[in-house]
Amino acid sequence: MTRPRTAATRAFLQKCAVLFSGAPWMLSGAQAQMPTPPAPVHVGSHLCGGVGDSSLTQLQSRATDYNLGFWMVGGPGGAYLADVPIEIRSGSRTVARFTADGPLCYVKLPGGRYTVTGTHNGQTRSVQVHSGSMNNYLRW
């Protein structure tokens, strides 16, 4: 035997029905239509370093494994910089974010144009690059 519903119970159930009527997680598998987020651009890998001559030589020997390279240098003499936070964007989408632990970085990216941005001593620098270019510079 079911109990008769009161007006308050009916009002509550109506509000719940309206609230959850469009909730995709309430639908069965075939009916559920969750929006698909945009596919992220994945960086295959990045490699940074080059502090010291032997480290730089070893790093440069791996350049052929990557399709984008850039240096971070500062001052009038072009002193090598390290510990620089880096962000790489394709249009408005960030495709990589890391801290460069040396003055030279190599990155493997899908073909295209990118903006590489770094911050050193509170100053931000950017350079426009394209995949395949291996000798770009962020200068402070």
Q: In the predicted model, what is the mean pLDDT of residues 41-48?
A: 74
Confidence check: pLDDT of 26 > 50: no
pLDDT for residue 53: 87
CB 91 within 8 A of CB 111: no
As a whole number of angstroms, the distance between CA 61 and CA 127 comes to 24
Residue scoring higher pLDDT (24 or 119): 119
Residue-averaged pLDDT of the chain? 83
Question: Could you tell me where the DSSP H helices lie in 1-140?
Answer: 7-20, 53-60
Structure-token match 């596919």, residue found: 39
**Cα separation, 13 vs 24, whole angstroms:** 19
pLDDT in tens, 70-127: 999 999 999 999 999 999 999 999 999 999 999 999 999 999 999 999 999 999 999 9
pTM equals 0.68
Element (H, E) at 11: helix 7-20
**Residue with structure tokens 């020997």?**
61
Query: Tokens 């030589």 belong to which residue?
Result: 57
Question: Is it the case that residue 52 has pLDDT exceeding 60?
Answer: yes
